[in-house]
Amino acid sequence: MSIIYFKPRDRFDFSVNTLDIGNPITWSQSHFLKHLFKRIFAIRYSRFEEFYQHHLDYYLKTVDNSTEESFFKNFFETVDRQLKVLNSRDVYAKNHVKTQRELIHLEKLRNLLISFDKWNIHKSFNDVVAKQELDIFILRQQIEMLKADLKKATALETTQFIDIPKGGFLSFVDLIIQMQEIKLPSGKELVFAEFQIAWVKMICKYFREDHKAIDFDRVRRYFPKDRRNPGSRSSSVPSDQHLFEIREIKRK
C-alpha cells in the first residue's frame, strides 16, 4: 500500500495521541508499512473509526480523482495481508504472546472495516483469494500428474546405445530394409511401420556409428515415404554394401 493514502506525521510533532504515521524527527518512507502498523497497534480500539476517517479525509483532500472506495480497498487488503503474516508465525516463537495480541487488535480493525464496506470489497477479495488457492491446488495436482507421466514416458530411456562399427552403417540399413520384405507363414509382415520415419527415429535414437550420433537426414534418405516409389531425393544402398541376406528357412 502506498503512503499517499495516509497522513505522514509532521516534523517535531511529539503528540502522544497523534493518528499520523511516522516518527517526529526523521524516518524513511520506504519503511512506511512498519510505521503504519506501529501506529495501529498503538491506538485503542475505540479510535479505529477516528483513525479511518482521519486518513480518508487526508487522502481525499490531497490526491486527485481519489475515492473512498479506493482508500478502503487498499487499506482493507493491507490489513488482511498482515493478518495472514501474523497467523503464519510459529506458535513456539518467543514473541508469540505479542503476535497473538496484535492478531486480536487487527481482527477488530478488520471487522470494523467490513462494517464500512459499501462495495462488498471484502467479499470479492475473499473470492479472489479462494480462487487463487483453488488454482494453486489444481496446478499442483497437474504437476504431480505430469511428473508421473514423465516418469512413465522416460522409463525406457537409456544412456547406452547399440554401436555399429565404422563402415558398417549401410550394411545395417540394408538389413533393416530387408526385414520389411519378410513375411510370416501367415502372410503378414514380420515387421511393419505405417510410416517409414519410425525406422529413421529408431536408428538415430538407439544406434551409434563408431560411437558417434547418426545424422537424421542421412538415415532418412534410405527410408522414403513410399518404398515402392522412392522418388529422386531418396537413395538406395550400394551393391557393395549388400553383404548379408535374410532368407526364409525351408523346413521339410
Domain map (residue ranges) of the chain? 3-119, 162-241
First to last CA, the chain: 93
For residue 102, how many other CB atoms are within 10 A of its CB? 19
CA dihedral 151, 152, 158, 163 (to 10 degrees): -160
pLDDT (tens, 9 = 90+) of the chain, 252 residues, equals 578 888 988 888 788 789 998 888 877 777 888 889 999 999 999 999 999 999 999 999 999 999 999 999 999 999 999 998 998 888 778 888 899 999 999 999 999 999 999 888 887 766 667 767 878 888 888 898 898 888 888 887 888 899 999 999 999 999 999 999 999 988 899 999 989 999 999 999 999 999 999 999 999 999 998 877 777 788 899 999 999 999 888 877
- Residue 241 near residue 169 (C-beta atoms within 8 A): no
d(CA 113, CA 79): 9
The amino acid present at 189, given as its one-letter code, is E
pTM (2 d.p.): 0.49
- Residue 23 near residue 13 (C-beta atoms within 8 A): no
